[in-house]
Amino acid sequence: MQAEIFSKPQFQDYAAKNLVLVELDFPRAKPQSDAVRKQNMKLASEYEIEGFPTLIVLDPEGKRVANFVGYMEGGPDAIIAALEKLRKS
């Protein structure tokens, strides 16, 4: 998602104007400290992560509005359209 969505100028512009982004990495192939592993497990449990990648949308109060699990086809335009639909509902 980083290469195909998050790094694209249209998403970066939209995010700068409309979002507060927080990226959490759950590496599988590289070593992580016990503290990071513990933190990741806590977050995965708290946010009920069922697959990767997962995009969680929270409202300003921190309440979950939506989850997007797995790769979303359509690049930045598709995710921006989905986020706009959420903002307007």
pLDDT (0 to 100) of residue 19: 93
Give the global pTM.
0.78
Q: Which residue range forms the structural domain that includes residue 49?
A: 2-88
Cβ 65 vs Cβ 57: under 8 Å = yes
First to last CA, the chain: 25
Amino acid identity for residue 11 in this structure: F
Q: Which of 11, 44, 45 is nearest to 27 (CA)?
A: 44
* Phi, then psi, of 65 in degrees rounded to 5: -105, -35
pLDDT (0 to 100) of residue 12: 96
Cα torsion at 73, 79, 81, 83 (round to 10°)? 150
Residue 22's pLDDT band (cuts 50, 70, 90): confident
Question: Per-residue pLDDT for 80 more than 90?
Answer: yes
**What's the structural domain count of the chain?**
1
Assign residue 13 the CATH number of its domain: 3.40.30.10
Residue 13's pLDDT band (cuts 50, 70, 90): very high
